[in-house]
Amino acid sequence: MKRIEVKLSLPVVAPLLDLIKQAVDDLGGRLAAPQQLQDLDEELRAAWKHELLSEQNDECRRFLALFDREFFASGTVAFDEANAESMLRACAAIRLRLRARELADLPDQVIESGGSAVAQLGEPAQKAFMCYVFLATLQELIIQHLDSAILDG
């Protein structure tokens, strides 16, 4: 089984974890990407939403669990083929939440290009942007090194 270990800078990542945990807590009762599901009856729609929400919450909790005592001792998180897809989805959910709340006032081109416009932001928005980029980088690493189904698809 393929596995990658990512060594992270504790002084850089540790402050982002509070924002990630807050985003996960905020997502606890709502989907990061709400589904309309207009074609379904109310009971089926409620069951489907409950299942999606339960899976999203579980994946986000498992993502947060990567940053445990061992992480703070070694600065390392590990991903493998067994958790790759759920970690991708957790990162995506958290990024969507950051985009919808902390980064809502920024145009897409600023978020995607970064640059000097980010330096003009206040500290909370800069931190949210750094978190957004951190999660995107983790997603890229997972896709590049573990998730051949995405690359081959």
Per-residue pLDDT of the chain (153 residues; tens, 9 = 90+): 789 999 999 999 999 999 999 999 999 889 998 777 677 788 887 888 889 999 999 999 999 999 999 999 999 999 998 999 999 999 999 999 999 999 998 888 888 887 667 778 888 889 999 999 999 999 999 999 886 655 554
Residue 38, H or E segment:
none
End-to-end CA distance of the chain: 20
Residue 3, H or E segment:
strand 3-7
Q: Which residues pair with 80 in a beta bridge?
A: 3
DSSP SS3 for 82: coil
> What type of residue is 37?
L
Residues in the chain: 153
pLDDT confidence of residue 88: 96
pLDDT confidence of residue 143: 92
